[in-house]
Amino acid sequence: MKKPRRPAWLIAALAVSFSAGLAQAAADCGPTAYDCALQHVARREFMQAIRLLEVQLAATPRDLKALNLVGIALTGAGRKADANDRFRTALSIDPSFNPARKNLAINEFDAGRSASAKSHLESVLKLAPADEIANIYLAEILFQSKETSAALKHYDKAGDRISQSPAWLLHYARCQLDAGRTEDAVTILERLPERDADGHFEAGVALGRAGAHAPAARFFARARAGYKDPYVAGYNQTLMLIEAGDHAEAARVAEEILSQGTRPAELYNLAARAYAGVGRIQEAYDALRNAARIEPKAVENYIDLAMLCMEHENFDLGMEIVDVGLARQPESWMLHVQRGVLWAMKSQFGQAEKEFDAARGLAPNQPVPYAALAMVWMQSGQTGKAVDVLRGETRRGNGGHVIPYIFAVSLLRSGVDPEQPAGLEAALALGAAIRAKPDFTPARAELGRLLLKRGDLDGAIGELEKAAALDPGRAATLYALAQAYRKKGDRQKASDLLARVSKLNERERGDDPDAELKRVVVRLVREGAQTGAGQPVER
Structural contact between residues 202 and 534, judged by C-beta atoms closer than 8 angstroms: no
What is the per-residue pLDDT across 138-183, written as a single tens digit (0 to 9) for each? Answer: 999 999 999 999 999 999 999 999 999 999 999 999 999 999 999 9
Listed residues 76, 99, 129: the one ending a domain: 129
- The secondary structure of 201-249 as a DSSP string is HHHHHHHHHTT-HHHHHHHHHHHTTTSS-HHHHHHHHHHHHHHTT-HHH
482 occurs within a structural domain: yes
Rounded CA gap, 469 and 448, in Å? 13
Tell me the C-alpha distance between 283 and 254, whole Å: 12
- Cβ pair 114, 144 in contact under 8 A: yes
Q: What is the DSSP letter of 510?
A: T
CA pair distance 42, 39, nearest whole angstrom: 5
- Rounded to an integer, the average pLDDT of 363-392 is 91
On whether the CB atoms of residues 394 and 407 are closer than 8 A, the answer is yes
Q: Are 260 and 240 in contact (CB under 8 A)?
A: no
Q: Does the pLDDT at position 126 exceed 70?
A: yes
| pLDDT (mean) for 2-31 | 43
User: What pLDDT digit, counting tens, does each position of 417-444 carry?
Assistant: 988 998 999 999 999 999 999 999 999 9
Query: Per the structure, how many domains does the chain have?
Result: 2
pLDDT of 311 reads 84
373 within 8 A of 406, measured Cβ to Cβ: no
Average pLDDT, the chain: 89
For residue 326, give Cα distances in angstroms to 74, 320, 337.
Answer: 69, 10, 11
- The answer, yes or no, to whether residue 5 has pLDDT greater than 60, is no
Q: What is the model's pLDDT at position 223?
A: 97
When pLDDT is cut at 50, 70 and 90, the band that residue 519 belongs to is confident
Task: Give the single-character DSSP code of 3.
Answer: P
Q: Which of 220, 127, 140 is nearest to 172 (CA)?
A: 140
Q: What is the CATH number of the domain that holds 442?
A: 1.25.40.10
**pTM beyond 0.85:** no
301 within a domain of the structure (yes/no): no
The domain boundary residue, chosen from 109, 129, 149: 129
The Cα–Cα gap between 212 and 244 comes to 8
Does 521 reside within a domain?
A: yes
Q: Mean pLDDT, to the nearest integer, of 470-487?
A: 90
Would you give the distance in Å from CA 25 to the centre of its chain?
A: 57
**Stretch (H or E) spanning 271:** helix 265-277
Q: What is the pLDDT of residue 71?
A: 96
Establish how many alpha carbons lie within 13 A of residue 390's alpha carbon, considering only the half-sphere containing its beta carbon.
35
The predicted pLDDT at position 7 comes to 38
Is residue 106, in this structure, part of any structural domain at all? yes
Residue 503 in domain: yes
CA gap 285, 314 in Å, rounded: 12
3 state SS for 72-102: HHHHHCCCHHHHHHHHHHHHHHCCCCHHHHH
Residue 274 has pLDDT above 90, yes or no: yes
Lowest mean pLDDT among 175-189, 218-232, 417-431, 520-534: 520-534
| Mean pLDDT within 377-393 | 91
What mean pLDDT is predicted for residues 387-403?
85
pLDDT for residue 203: 98
- What residue numbers bound the domain in which 442 lies? 381-533
Q: Write down which residue in 108, 129, 150 finishes a domain.
A: 129
Name the nearest CA neighbour of 211 among 172, 249, 185, 190.
185
User: For residue 251, is it within any domain?
Assistant: no
For residue 513, the model assigns a pLDDT of 64
Any domain includes 95: yes
Inside any domain, residue 498 = yes
What span, in angstroms and rounded, lies between the C-alpha atoms of 337 and 525? 7
